[in-house]
Chain A
Amino acid sequence: DIVMTQSPDSLAVSLGERATINCKSSQSVLYSSNNKNYLAWYQQKPGQPPKLIIYWASTRESGVPDRFSGSGSGTDFTLTISSLQAEDVAVYYCQQYCTSLSSLSFGGGTKVEIK
């Protein structure tokens, strides 16, 4: 199975500053047939279910603010919050959905707090 490893486990960022979260997969999640990375990002606030924010590694879900961006390819991915807002305090998870190779799997999560 594909193992997803996120770093750091937590980070504290000042309001208006950049937050960067990394996600590494144990195998490539890039399909050569369509050149798509099968990688999504979710935001989970306390007491709430996860919310989809990014899919295909870099496509923002409708309604998600453009301060959120995803990048990377193959095995290494990044979620960036360009200017952290108070409402962005949450745990963020990456997920690979390369199901021809493996069961679905999530990263361990990264907790983002205000410094």
Chain B
Amino acid sequence: EVQLVESGGGLVQPGGSLRLSCAASGFTFSDRYMDWVRQAPGKGLEWVGRIKNKGNSYTTEYAASVKGRFTISRDDSKSSLYLQMNSLKTEDTAVYYCAKDSGFGHFFDYWGQGTLVTVSS
């Protein structure tokens, strides 16, 4: 059974940093592209970014709204995905989901339960 479990959310002040983790199991993590998607309270879904697999040089891509502030990484030996968030803004307040790329199209066949990040003074 595929499982994605996020952790690391919490309250942080504007300008601060936070690192989210996503522990994956039930599939060959190293084969898959992995993404982060966020959802502000009461709002819709916003793609944050992606990290490709080793065969694609672990290339990362980001939404314009987070580029230069957020960094996605992965540790295939631990089946874990990370999101380092720096220079946080109040508008980054959201539930952050890790999502598994299907492997044959950049849609997401599994999602974690999400972790809430609140940026507030």
Interface of A toward B, CB cutoff 8 Å: 1, 36, 38, 40, 42, 48-52, 55-56, 61, 93, 95, 97, 99, 103-109
On chain B, the number of residues with a Cβ less than 8 Å from chain A's Cβ atoms is 20
- Which residue of A36, A51, A103, A108 contacts B61 across the interface (Cβ within 8 Å)? A103
Q: In the complex, which residues of chain A have a beta carbon less than 8 angstroms from the beta carbon of B114? A: 49
Docked-complex contact B44 and A93, CB < 8 angstroms: yes
Docked-complex contact B107 and A52, CB < 8 angstroms: yes
Q: In the complex, which residues of chain A have a beta carbon less than 8 angstroms from the beta carbon of B46? A: 106
**Tally of contacts, chain A with chain B, CB under 8 A:** 55
Docked-complex contact B107 and A108, CB < 8 angstroms: no
B55 on interface, CB distance cutoff 8 Å: no
B47 on interface, CB distance cutoff 8 Å: yes
Across the two chains, which residue of chain B brings its CB closest to A95? B107
Given A56-B105, A103-B61, verify A50-B44 contact (CB < 8 Å): no
Interface of B toward A, CB cutoff 8 Å: 35, 44-47, 50, 61, 63-64, 97, 102, 105-109, 111-114
Q: Give, as a whole number of angstroms, the nearest-CB distance from A91 to chain B.
A: 8
Docked-complex contact A51 and B111, CB < 8 angstroms: yes
A23 to B35, CA, bound (A): 23
Q: List 17 other contacts, CB 8 Å, given A1-B64, A38-B105.
A: A36-B105, A40-B107, A42-B45, A48-B113, A49-B97, A50-B108, A50-B111, A52-B108, A93-B45, A97-B106, A97-B107, A99-B61, A99-B106, A104-B35, A106-B46, A108-B44, A109-B44
Q: Nearest 7 CB-CB pairs, A to B?
A: A49-B111, A97-B106, A40-B107, A104-B47, A106-B45, A109-B44, A108-B44
Q: Give, as a whole number of angstroms, the nearest-CB distance from A88 to chain B.
A: 19
Across the two chains, which residue of chain B brings its CB closest to A49? B111
A93 to B50, CA, bound (A): 19
A49 to B108, CA, bound (A): 11
Q: In the complex, which residues of chain A have a beta carbon less than 8 angstroms from the beta carbon of B111? A: 49-51
A38 to B44, CA, bound (A): 20
